[in-house]
Structure 1
Amino acid sequence: MLLDSLSAKATNSPNDRIRIGVIGPGSRGQELIRQFLHLPGNEIAAVADIYEPRYAQVDKLVGRSVPHYKDYRELLARTDLDAIVISTPVSLHAEHAQAAVRSGRPVYCEKALAFTAGECRDQVKTAEAGGHVFQMGFEYRYAAWVQEGVRRIQAGHIGEPTHVYAYWHRNNDWRRPVPSPDPDKKLEHLINWRLYRETSGGLLTELGSHHIDIANWVFDEPPARVTGTTSIVRWQDGRTVGDNVQAIFSYSKGRRMVFSSITDNAEMGNQLWVYGTEGTVQFTIEDATFYYEPKKPKAAPAGAEVVERGITTGASYSPRGEMPYRGEGERLSTPNAEDPTLACCRSFLDCVRNGKKPVADVRIGYHSAIATVIGNQALYEEKSYAIPGLT
C-alpha cells in the first residue's frame, strides 16, 4: 500500500498505481518519464511547465493526453497525485521541491538540491520536517557497477583511497536550438538556462555534482574546502558560465578530489578515477575496472649504477615504473545491470510504496549541492573557500 501519510484519494488510486505529477518535463524530465513508463504500477498523471510546447511532447511520449498546467501550484493543488517529480532548472528546485513537500507527497528532485547555500539548508529542513520520501536524482548511486566498485574500495581492495580525479570532457557548445524569432531572448534564456549564471551553476553543478557525490561516497565524508578556476575560452556566444572548469576539493587526511570539465575536446569523456595506495579504479557510465599497483622493486643502493636501454646511468635517473600501465585490468562483472536512471526511478517507486529511506536522500543531496555552490564562488573569484557542513 502507499504511504499512510498520503491523502485518502491518493492512497485509493486504481490498482494502487502511483500517480505521478511532473514539474518541469523538459529534456531531463522527459527522460525520467521514459524510465517510469518502463516500470509497472505507476502513471504519469499530470505535468506543469511554463513552456507550452512541452505539453504536446509529453502527450506523444506517453501516448495519450496528459493534464497540463502552466502554474505548478495548480498541479500541486490536485488531491489525486501520489508523488511529485521535480526536474526544473536548478535555480527553481528549492521553490518547487519545498512546495511539493508541503503538499504532503513524496518527492523525487533532480540534482542539484538547490541553487544557493541558504536554499540548500532550507531544503534539508523542509524535507526532514515533512517526513515523506525525498530522493535525489543521483542515478550513479543506483548503478550496479558503481555500487560494487565502491563496496570493494571500502573493503580495502585498492588500499587506502587518497585521490579522486574526475573528468567530463565534451567537444560541443552545450547549447540547445531555440525557435525563432526570439527578439527579446526570452526563449534563449528559457531553453538555454544552463548557460547563464542567473539560473545555472554551470559545468560544476550540472555535471560535476555527480562526481562530487561519488567522491563523498568513496571518502565517506563531504569535502571541507574548494579552490578552482573557470573561463570562457572557446564559446564566445553570450553565455555567462564558463565553458571549462577545474576545481580541487579538500577532504580530511589530506585527500583530494580534482574535477575537470572542458567543452572543446572530448578525449577523456565522462569518467572518474579513484587512486589508492595499492590500486586504482576507473568508473565510466557503463562499467568499472580495477588496476593494481605492481610490486615495488628493491631499491638500488646509494651511488649504484643501472642500465636502461643500453645506457648506464645513476639509479635516481631510472625511468622504470614511470610509464603508464597498459594492461587490461580487472573489469567488474555486474550481470543484467540496468540503466542507472531506470534503477533510480524503480527505487523511488519502491520507497514510495514501502516507506523506505532513499539511497540518495536529501542529506546526500546537500553535501554535493553545497560543494558546487561554494565551488562556483571559488571558481569565479579564483579563491579558496571553506564548505559549510550540515548539523
Structure 2
Amino acid sequence: MKNNNDAASRRRFLQQIGATTLISATSPFASLANQGKAEERILQYNKKITANDKIRIGVIGYGVQGHFDLSTALKVPGVELAGICDLYTGRIENAKEQFGKDLFTTRNYKELLDRPDIDAVLICTTDCWHARITLDALAKGKHVYCEKPMVYKISEGHHVIEASKKSGKVLQVGSQRVSSLGYAKAKELLASGEIGKLNMVNAVYDRQSSIGSWEYTIPKDADAMTTNWDKFIEVTEKMAFDAKKFFWWRAFKEVGTGVAGDLFIHLLSGTHLITNSKGPETIFSTGQFSYWKDGRNMPDVMSGVMQYPDCAEHDAFQLTLQVNFISGTGGQEIIRLIGSEGVIEVMGNNITIKHSIMPEAPGFGGYDSVFTFSKSMQTEMQADYDAKWTAEQRKRKVKDDIVFKVPAGYSDHLDHFTNFFDSIRTGKQVVEDATFGFRAAAPALACNESYFSKKIIQWDPVKMKLK
C-alpha cells in the first residue's frame, strides 16, 4: 500500500495546478475516445463473368493450394481442366477420384507442358520449383498462373521477367488481394487524401492453429518412392528423404520461404497496390521459435521493418510486418495505413476509416511546460495565445468514421482468376505481372536473408536489385 503522506502530497499538488489544467491535459488523447458506430457502406460490385473462349488448364502441384486454385478457376465460365501433375501418388489418385479415371495425370510436369490441348497452367508447387517450371511453361507457349512467391531466390527474378516479356504470354502471380474490391477502394481513398499524408503502414497476418502453422497431416504411405523424392530435390541440395520437408515444406529453408514467402508477401503485395509503390530501400527482420518447435528451421514468429523512399508515387513511409503463429488474438489479417489525419484499416476485404485531425492552433497548457513558469509569465503568454488563435482554430476538426464492406459472397480469389483468364482472352494488362510479383517477392525474401545474416538489406526498388 502507498504511504498516506505521499497520497496527501499528491492531492495538494493536483489542487495547486488546478482542475482546468488537468482537463486540458487530456485533450491530446480525446480522439481516442470511444465513438458511436461508424457509417456502413457496401461497395458496389457489378462485374459479370462471361466465357468468350474456351481455356483448357493444367495444374502442376495438387496439394492444398492446388485444390483451392483449381476449384476457383473452374468457377470461371469457359475454363476446363485438361490435366493434373503431382509428385505424390496419393494426390494423383485423388485427382482421378475427383475428375474421373480418364483425366490426364502425370508425375512429370514436362509431360503436361507437352500437351497441345493445354492453354495455361497453374503452378502450385513448393516454392523452390516456381521459377524453373514457370520458365519451362513459358518456353512451351503456355500462359502461367504462378502461386506466390513468384521466385524462391531473388536471383531468379529478372530471368522470369525477361522470359515473360519474350514469350508474349500472360503471367499472373497468385496474390489474390491484388484483385480485391476492398483494396481497390483503399487505394482510391488514400489517393484522395482521406487520411492526409501517409507516413506509416502496420501490416499483420497472425494465426493460432497447427494447420495454420503448416503442420499438415502426413499420409501413412509417405516414402521416397510415393513422393518421387529424387525429383523433388532436383533443384535443391541433396537431402535424405524427409516427409516433413515434402508435406510441411514452407517450414524449411531448403525448399520453402517460411512466413515471409507465405504471408509477408500478401501484406507487401497489398501495400504496394494501395500505395502504388515499387518497394522499399532498406529491409530488416528478426524472428524466433516460440511454440512450433517441430524440427522446422524457419521461425514461427517474425517481424520486419522496411523504409520506403520519398518518390513520385508516394511520400516516404515506414512499413512494419508481423506474423505470429501462436497469437492469442486467435489470428488476424490487417493492413493499417496511418496518415497525418487518420487511419485506413484493411481487414480482409473490408475497410474502416478513422479520422484524427490536429487543430490549426498549436497546443498550449495542460501537459505542457507553461505551468512551471512564473505566474506573471503564464498570464502574459496566455494573453498572447488568446490574441493569436480563435476558439475555432483550437478545436479538432471532426469527420465521421466509415466502414466499407464487400457484398456477401464476394471472393477476391475468384476475381483474381477472372482477371487472369480475361487477360488471356482479351490481351489486356494482367493485374499482377512478373514485375509486380517480383517487387513483392524480393523484399519478402530479403527478410529471410536479413534474419539469417542479422544485417540490414539494401534494395533498389526501381532497378529491382540488391545494392
Short-chain TM bin = 0.7 to 0.9
Task: List aligned pairs for 1:48-127, cutoff 5 A.
Answer: 48-62=85-99, 65-127=102-164
- Residue 364 of structure 2 corresponds to 300
- Residue 280 of structure 1 corresponds to 343
- Provide the TM-score with structure 1 as the length reference: 0.86
Task: List aligned pairs for 1:1-391, cutoff 5 A.
Answer: 16-62=53-99, 65-173=102-210, 174=213, 175-180=215-220, 185-221=241-277, 222-253=279-310, 254-267=316-329, 269-296=332-359, 298=361, 299-301=363-365, 303-305=369-371, 329-335=401-407, 338-389=410-461, 391=463
- Provide the TM-score with structure 2 as the length reference: 0.72
Asked if the contact 1:143/1:337 (under 8 Å) is kept, the reply is no
Structure 2: where are the runs of 5+ without partners? Answer: 1-50, 224-239, 311-315, 373-398
**Alpha-carbon distance, 1:54 to partner:** 1.4
**Alpha-carbon distance, 1:182 to partner:** 5.3
Asked if the contact 1:168/1:271 (under 8 Å) is kept, the reply is yes
Q: Deviations over 1:101-126 (max 9, x none)?
A: 11112111111010111111211111
Mapped partners of 1:16, 1:63: distance in 2: 24
What letter is aligned with 1:362?
A: A
**Alpha-carbon distance, 1:63 to partner:** 6.2
Mapped partners of 2:117, 2:163: distance in 1: 22
SS in 1 for 2:159: helix
Mapped partners of 1:40, 1:333: distance in 2: 26
- Percentage of matched positions with identical amino acids: 23
**Alpha-carbon distance, 1:381 to partner:** 2.1
Mapped partners of 1:15, 1:247: distance in 2: 44
SS in 2 for 1:264: coil
What letter is aligned with 1:179?
A: P
Structure 1: where are the runs of 5+ without partners? Answer: 1-13, 307-326
**Alpha-carbon distance, 1:236 to partner:** 1.5
Q: Deviations over 1:205-253 (max 9, x none)?
A: 1111011112222332211110111121222211111111110011013
- Residue 314 of structure 1 corresponds to none
**Alpha-carbon distance, 1:188 to partner:** 2.0
Mapped partners of 1:256, 1:155: distance in 2: 20
Mapped partners of 1:275, 1:188: distance in 2: 40
Asked if the contact 2:52/2:425 (under 8 Å) is kept, the reply is no
Mapped partners of 1:185, 1:256: distance in 2: 42
SS in 2 for 1:207: helix
**Alpha-carbon distance, 1:77 to partner:** 0.6
Q: Deviations over 1:305-338 (max 9, x none)?
A: 59xxxxxxxxxxxxxxxxxxxx993111444672
Asked if the contact 1:153/1:218 (under 8 Å) is kept, the reply is yes
Alignment CA distance shift 1:365-1:15 (3 Å) = closer
Mapped partners of 1:181, 1:54: distance in 2: 12
Query: RMSD over aligned Cα, in angstroms?
Result: 2.4
Alignment CA distance shift 1:156-1:233 (3 Å) = same
Aligned length: 359
Mapped partners of 1:45, 1:163: distance in 2: 46
Mapped partners of 1:367, 1:138: distance in 2: 12
Alignment CA distance shift 1:286-1:266 (3 Å) = farther
